[in-house]
């Protein structure tokens, strides 16, 4: 069944949403004066949320959910791997955070987690140069391999080496940014490059790179690579911001449904943003379709598995205490299916 697009936004929509909130609170038994005060409090909230230039939240208006009853200030991150550092420093209130980044949080971090959303594993690739003679992952021993440290591509490298029964000392790993990895590969300074973003992947393929293997070839990577919702402890101590987070997550989930139904419009916009064909965007889509939000219990298991993988590979000196990161307060704000 096709989803109908949500009604377009009008100037009165904020009033409508505030009225709907008030109606729900009255139905819950709150006195009228308390309801009025609560709605006014929410209108005074500013929720700072991490963002990237291709963030799904940029489609809130298309999905008809942009006019929130609270203010939203998006904090643009130069790269996703910096998100955990920025949240740890209190630069924003809430956002999605890679579970690989969570492994590297400092012991007394104020970051708290809930839920789990997996990435589409086939969006992460291992490239070699066409005609290089590297026809299987068994041939990577001793090769120069470009990857991004502390993110999904680091985990992919670990799983690749594990499957081939190789250690980091038996290859020549070179940690670079996504764009620098692509440039180094095209310049002939790398034999193998791991990529997962639209622009670098397209640049690599246009420059003669071909896919050796996809991330879905590695079951542990496919299962454990994803993100959790993350918030600062100061944010979770504010009941008004908690209410705003719960509302925002419902809007995000509704936007995902809209994007799944109108994938062509999503792909066309991102294709223009990155200067690549829409079909390339669809083929390398990082969010699974549909996109379930799994429980915090699932998130705990998968985060622990990621930490174990990094520890066994010698990438971290000891297993961190991850249980302290999971927040029942944030978990209670997740949309209920």
Q: What is the CATH number of the domain that holds 273?
A: 3.40.190.10
51's CB contacts (< 8 A; 6+ apart) are 57, 58, 74, 75, 76, 77, 95
Query: What are the pLDDT digits (tens) for 23-48?
Result: 444 444 545 454 445 556 899 999 99
Query: What are the pLDDT digits (tens) for 255-271?
Result: 999 999 999 999 999 99
* Same domain (yes/no): 229, 207: no
* Same domain (yes/no): 193, 208: yes
The residue from 223, 246, 270 where one domain ends is 223
Domain with 239, as residue range(s), is 13-119+225-331
Query: What are the pLDDT digits (tens) for 143-182?
Result: 999 999 999 999 999 999 999 999 989 999 999 999 999 9
Count of Cβ atoms closer than 10 Å to residue 25 Cβ: 17
CA 271 to chain centre: 19
* Same domain (yes/no): 109, 32: yes
* Same domain (yes/no): 134, 77: no
**Ranges of H-type helices in 187-229:** 198-206, 219-224
* Same domain (yes/no): 107, 42: yes
Q: What is the pLDDT of residue 40?
A: 64
The mean pLDDT of the chain is 90
111 HSE (CA, 13 A, CB side): 29
* Same domain (yes/no): 168, 303: no
* Same domain (yes/no): 17, 115: yes
With 0-12 / 13-18 / 19 or more C-beta atoms within 10 angstroms meaning exposed / middle / buried, residue 270 is buried
Q: What is the pLDDT of residue 31?
A: 53
* Same domain (yes/no): 206, 173: yes
Answer whether residue 2 is part of any domain.
no
* Same domain (yes/no): 22, 90: yes
Tell me phi and psi for residue 48, to 5 degrees.
-95, 120
* Same domain (yes/no): 159, 296: no
Judged against a pLDDT cut of 70, whether residue 19 lies above it is answered with no
**Residue percentage of the chain with pLDDT more than 90:** 83
Query: How many domains does the chain fold into?
Result: 2
The residue from 193, 223, 253 where one domain ends is 223
For residue 66, the 8-state DSSP code is -
């Amino acid at each position: 069944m096709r989803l109908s697009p949500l009604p377009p936004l009008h100037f009165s929509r904020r009033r409508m949403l505030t009225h709907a909130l008030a109606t729900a609170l009255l139905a819950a038994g709150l006195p009228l004066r308390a309801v009025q005060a609560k709605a006014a409090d929410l209108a005074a909230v500013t929720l700072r949320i991490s963002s990237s230039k291709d963030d799904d939240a940029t489609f809130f208006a298309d999905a008809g959910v942009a006019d929130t009853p609270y203010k939203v200030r998006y904090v643009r991150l130069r790269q996703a791997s910096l998100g955990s550092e920025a949240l740890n420093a209190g630069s924003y209130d809430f956002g999605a955070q890679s579970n690989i980044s969570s492994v590297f949080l400092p012991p007394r971090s104020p970051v708290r987690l809930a839920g789990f959303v997996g990435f589409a594993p086939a969006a992460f690739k291992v490239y070699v140069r066409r005609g290089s003679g590297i026809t299987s992952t068994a041939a990577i021993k001793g090769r120069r391999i470009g990857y991004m440290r502390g993110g999904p591509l680091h985990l992919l490298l670990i799983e690749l080496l594990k499957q081939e029964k190789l250690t980091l000392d038996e290859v020549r790993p070179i940690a670079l940014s996504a764009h620098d990895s692509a440039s180094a590969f095209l310049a002939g300074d790398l034999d193998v490059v791991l990529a997962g973003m639209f622009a670098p992947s397209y640049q690599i393929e246009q420059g003669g790179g071909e896919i050796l293997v996809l991330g879905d070839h590695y079951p542990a990577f496919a299962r454990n690579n994803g993100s959790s919702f993350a918030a600062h402890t100061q944010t979770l101590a504010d009941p008004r911001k908690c209410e705003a987070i719960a509302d925002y997550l419902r809007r995000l989930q509704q936007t995902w449904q809209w994007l799944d139904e109108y994938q062509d419009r999503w792909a066309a916009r991102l294709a223009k943003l990155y200067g690549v064909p829409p079909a390339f965007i669809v083929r390398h889509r990082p969010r699974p379709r549909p996109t379930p939000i799994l429980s915090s219990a699932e998130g705990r298991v998968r985060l622990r598995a990621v930490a174990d993988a990094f520890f066994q590979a010698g990438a971290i000196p000891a297993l961190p205490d991850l249980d302290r990161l999971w927040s029942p307060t944030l978990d209670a704000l997740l949309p209920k299916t």
